[in-house]
Amino acid sequence: MPEPGEELARLAESGLLRSLRTLDSSAGPRVRREGRDLWNFASNDYLGLAAHPDLASAFIDGIRRYGSGATASRLVSGSLPPHHALEEDIALAKGSEAALCFSSGFAAATGSLPALVGKNDVLVLDKLCHACLIDGARLSGATIRVFPHNDIAKLDRLLTSIRARQSEARVIVVTESVFSMDGDLCPLARIVEAKDRHGALLFLDEAHAFGVIGPAGMGLAAELGLQSRIDFQMGTFSKAAGLSGGYLACSKDWRDLLINRARSFIYSTAPPPALAHAARTSLELIRSATGDALRQELRARIKSLSPGHPSPVIPRILGENTAALAAAERLENLGFLVPAIRYPTVPRGTARLRISLSASHPPLAVDALRDALAPLE
């Protein structure tokens, strides 16, 4: 077995070595890192709520009311009023019977999927599903089948084959509404039709659509009027909501099953109640006229940089790791923080710049970035 140093050298040779680089400022649209002021196009703070004064006030109020931590798991003594109130708010907003909160989106995926299926069941994943969904699927012990990205014909053939062999299995299709590295949308209406046709369930990750797409920012399912036909709607508070944490909106029975089976929920200390208290304020802002105005600003930024693109995640695919790293370094020298994304986050040979737009970006910064990206076209 190679020593750690050998493995690190191998990563460096292939352009895959990562390291932590500290910001010397808060993580807003303008940041300071290693003595350099940069426009931040690396964060997922799509509405700019991470710095919103109402969220700061709500967080402080939550600490005053409920303290800094929950002190125990939800099933022991860590289930406080803000946790339950937030779950009720999410269920109402997502048009579901119930919802359950987790410490992160990753915990929501890796806890929920193994709780929902087992070794006699089948999970059918889009090839570009996020790592948390892949890991949750692997932990479940279920049979995993993968269909090419957004290929509904292949999905339909897979479901037909699965049902022919395992008529009694629980089958769940797993996909994202906005894909985190490409920023494209899934063909949700056709996926819903396919899963209904074959008696399957649908697990939809709305992490990058929540707050951004649909009426009141409630996601692609709401935009298409399909919320009532989707069995599991997952999302996070770590993107447009400006905080952290994850949730799963579902029926009351599914929620009760998760409470009893989801290991990342059962065996984790509950998220701070002050965080849940602040998340309620964030959800209220997202669904308000303020949220509508921020989404309008965000759409204007998207149109300025990439007309016709459906989300604030805009990739520039360069192929080789060295090309992506060089482009990111060049942009940093020009005053822009834009990350180089490489395998295993994206498939080999598709290394890219991943640009994340926010309503908080001044138009002049977006225009300047567009000019800086021109040589890559």
- If you average pLDDT over residues 282-293, what whole number do you get? 98
DSSP assignments along 359-373, one per residue: TTS-HHHHHHHHHHH
Indicate which residue of 52, 83, 94, 130 is catalytic: 130
pLDDT of residue 377: 75
Per the domain annotation, does 105 fall within a domain?
Answer: yes
Structure tokens that stand for 120 in this block: 């006699």
30 and 123 part of one domain: no
Indicate which residue of 89, 156, 176, 231 is catalytic: 176
Indicate which residue of 43, 104, 180, 360 is catalytic: 180
256 and 304 part of one domain: no
Per the structure, the count of domains in the chain is: 2
187 and 308 part of one domain: no
Structure tokens that stand for 259 in this block: 């409470």
Q: Let me know if 239 is a catalytic residue.
A: yes
315 and 337 part of one domain: yes
Which of 243, 259, 286 is the last residue in one of the domains? 286
271 and 323 part of one domain: no
Indicate which residue of 44, 112, 150, 358 is catalytic: 44
Per the domain annotation, does 5 fall within a domain?
Answer: no
pLDDT tens for each residue of 83-126: 999 999 999 999 999 999 999 999 999 999 999 999 999 999 99
Which of 286, 315, 346 is the last residue in one of the domains? 286
- If you average pLDDT over residues 237-253, what whole number do you get? 98
Q: b/e map of 97-125 (b: 16 or more CB within 10 Å)?
A: ebbbbbbbbbbbbbbbbbbbbeeebbbbb
pLDDT tens for each residue of 149-168: 999 999 999 999 999 999 99
Closest CA to 101 of 287, 221, 279, 285: 279
Share of the chain above pLDDT 90, in %: 98
pLDDT of residue 107: 98
Whole-number Å distance between alpha carbons of 33 and 21: 8
Indicate which residue of 208, 238, 244, 268 is catalytic: 208
pLDDT tens for each residue of 182-195: 999 999 999 999 99
Q: Let me know if 367 is a catalytic residue.
A: no
Cis status of the peptide bond prior to 344, with omega within 30 of 0: yes
- If you average pLDDT over residues 322-327, what whole number do you get? 96
- Give the number of other CB atoms < 10 A from CB of residue 205: 31
Whole-number Å distance between alpha carbons of 276 and 167: 41
Per the domain annotation, does 47 fall within a domain?
Answer: no
pLDDT tens for each residue of 354-371: 999 999 999 999 999 999
225 and 361 part of one domain: no
Q: Let me know if 130 is a catalytic residue.
A: yes
Per the domain annotation, does 32 fall within a domain?
Answer: yes
Per the domain annotation, does 3 fall within a domain?
Answer: no
- With bands split at pLDDT 50, 70 and 90, how would you rate the model's confidence at 376? confident
β-strands 201-205, 171-176 pairing: parallel
Indicate which residue of 83, 94, 198, 239 is catalytic: 239
Q: Let me know if 297 is a catalytic residue.
A: no
Per the domain annotation, does 2 fall within a domain?
Answer: no
Q: Which CATH number belongs to the domain containing residue 223 in this structure?
A: 3.40.640.10
276 and 367 part of one domain: no
Per the domain annotation, does 60 fall within a domain?
Answer: yes
226 and 275 part of one domain: yes
Indicate which residue of 205, 264, 277, 311 is catalytic: 205
169 and 317 part of one domain: no
Per the domain annotation, does 244 fall within a domain?
Answer: yes
163 and 259 part of one domain: yes
- If you average pLDDT over residues 340-363, what whole number do you get? 97
233: amino acid identity, one letter:
Q
Name the residue range of residue 121's domain.
Answer: 53-286
- With bands split at pLDDT 50, 70 and 90, how would you rate the model's confidence at 311? very high
pLDDT tens for each residue of 7-57: 999 999 999 999 999 999 988 999 999 999 999 999 999 999 999 999 999
Q: Which CATH number belongs to the domain containing residue 364 in this structure?
A: 3.90.1150.10
174 and 32 part of one domain: no
Among the residues of the chain, which ranges form H helices? 4-13, 53-66, 81-94, 105-116, 131-140, 152-165, 188-197, 220-223, 252-261, 263-266, 273-286, 289-305, 321-334, 363-373
pLDDT of residue 2: 86
Q: Let me know if 149 is a catalytic residue.
A: no
Which of 264, 286, 308 is the last residue in one of the domains? 286
* 279 pLDDT higher than 80: yes
Is pTM, for the whole model, over 0.95?
yes
pLDDT of residue 310: 98
91 and 175 part of one domain: yes
Whole-number Å distance between alpha carbons of 141 and 129: 18
